Amino acid sequence: MTETIIQGLLLGGLYCLFSLGLSLMFGVMRLTNIAQGDLIVAGGFAAISVAPLVGGHFVMAGLVLLPVAFAVGYALQRTVLNRTLGKDPLPSLVVTFGLSIVIQNALLELYSADPRSLDAGELATGSLNLGGDIYVGTLPLLILVAALACTAGLQLLFSATSLGRAFRAVSDDREAAELMGLDSAKVYSLATALAFALIALAGLFQGLRTTVSPADGPLLLLFAFESVIIGGMGSFWGTFVGALVLGVSQQVGFKFDPGWGVWFGHLVFLAVLLVRPNGLFPKTKG
């Protein structure tokens, strides 16, 4: 049982990286990015394509990929997504849903339907002894540490920097923030740029840890979303804990029957929604 829970926590680290971008974009501009999962998959494939060009190591691939993702996110928000924002959520939902279909089919055309993975080198086989006969893989542990660092970093960014203050200001009251001299279109674009960098990182890790295939996107979106809701909207630490809860739930379900992992995760999500609709760690407004 300890083994299952530890595996679940490690899986949760990956889910946390899936969900931070979604949580960030929703938090800053109430934009629900339905293409989140497909973008993660696209990030994974991009890393697989870039790695051989930069010497084959995934760290190099990441160093190239993250700034590119940042720029793509900025451009996409500036040119397309800013036009869809408003009181009505419909335009942004339809546009990101359309984007999800375009990405899925473009990946299918480029890479075929076969699952692919990124070579992790010696990290893939390395493991650490936690005492007794419990071992954890180095790579999953690295992912969990990265998730922890990203969550702490985002929280710090939001509470202690001028950019974070701008994010909070446009989120609370866009018009008032604009009156104070903030360019909300630019602030939104920076938020999406940051979210896309996180998405690329998540894609990279997904490609290292398991495989990516063009049809995976929707499921990854659902995991990201469930993590956000279980944890409670509006707090990155909430999202982190929500992702761990989801990871553990899936591992426990998986232990009962290999076909039940995802299903059991969904059920835990619905149970939390029923009992604690504001998540396990609701953040009071203000």
Partner 1 sequence: MSATVIRSTRASQTAIGIGAALCVAAATLPFWGESSWMREFVEIACYFIFAMMWNLLAGYGGMVSVGQQAFFGLGGYVMLSLGNFLGLNPFLAIPLAALVSALAALPVSRLAFRLQGGYFSIGTWVIAEVFRLSIANVSAVGGGSGTSLTALRGISRATRENTTYWVALGCVVAAIALVYLFLRSKQGLALQAIRDSEVAAESQGVGVARMKLAVYVVAAFGCGMAGALYFVSNLRISPDAAFGVNWTAFAIFIVMIGGIGRIEGPLIGAVVFWALNKFFSDYGTWYQMGLGLLAIAMTLFFREGLGGFLHRRLGFEMLPTRRILKLDAAPAPADVPAPAPSRLMPKVSL
Binding region for partner 1 (CB under 8 A):
26, 30-32, 34, 80, 83-84, 88-95, 97-102, 104-106, 108-109, 218, 221-222, 225-226, 228-229, 233, 259-260, 262-263, 266-267, 269-270, 273-274, 277
Residue nearer to partner 1 on the CB measure, 102 or 145: 102
* Interaxial angle between packed helices 261-275 and 236-256, expressed in degrees from 0 to 180 and rounded to the nearest 10: 130
CB nearer to partner 1: pick between 62 and 214? 214
26 or 196: CB nearest partner 1: 26
Of 55 and 258, nearer to partner 1 (C-beta) is 258
CB of 218 to partner 1, least distance (A): 6
Torsion of CA 242, 189, 165, 228, to 10 degrees: -10
Write down the least CB distance from residue 116 to partner 1, Å: 17
Place of tokens 């993975």: 117
CB of 54 to partner 1, least distance (A): 29
The values of phi and psi at residue 56, to 5°, are 90, -10
* CA–CA distance, 149 with 4 (Å, rounded to integer): 24
What minimum distance in Å lies between the beta carbon of 256 and partner 1? 12
In the complex, least distance from residue 173 CB atom to partner 1, rounded to whole angstroms = 18
Give me 85's structure tokens.
């924002």
Contact 24, 191 (CB under 8 A): yes
Q: Give the nearest distance from C-beta 57 to partner 1 in angstroms.
A: 32
Q: What residues have CB less than 8 Å from 106, skipping those under 6 apart?
A: none
Q: DSSP state, 278?
A: T
Q: Indicate the residue among 84 and 206 with the shorter CB distance to partner 1.
A: 84
Task: Give the nearer residue to partner 1 in terms of CB position, either 7 or 104.
Answer: 104
Name the nearest CA neighbour of 85 among 147, 31, 162: 31
- Least distance between partner 1 and beta carbon 161 (Å): 27
CB of 224 to partner 1, least distance (A): 9
**In this structure, what token pair is assigned to residue 183?**
């360019």
Q: Which residues contact 216 (CB under 8 A, 6 or more apart)?
A: 37, 41
Smaller CB distance to partner 1: residue 58 or 236? 236
CA dist list (Å): 102 to 8, 39, 92, 195: 32, 11, 15, 20
Structure tokens at 236: 């990155």
Q: Where are the alpha helices (DSSP H) in 51-172?
A: 58-79, 90-111, 138-160, 162-172
Task: Please identify, using beta-carbon distances, which residue of 52 and 91 lies nearer to partner 1.
Answer: 91
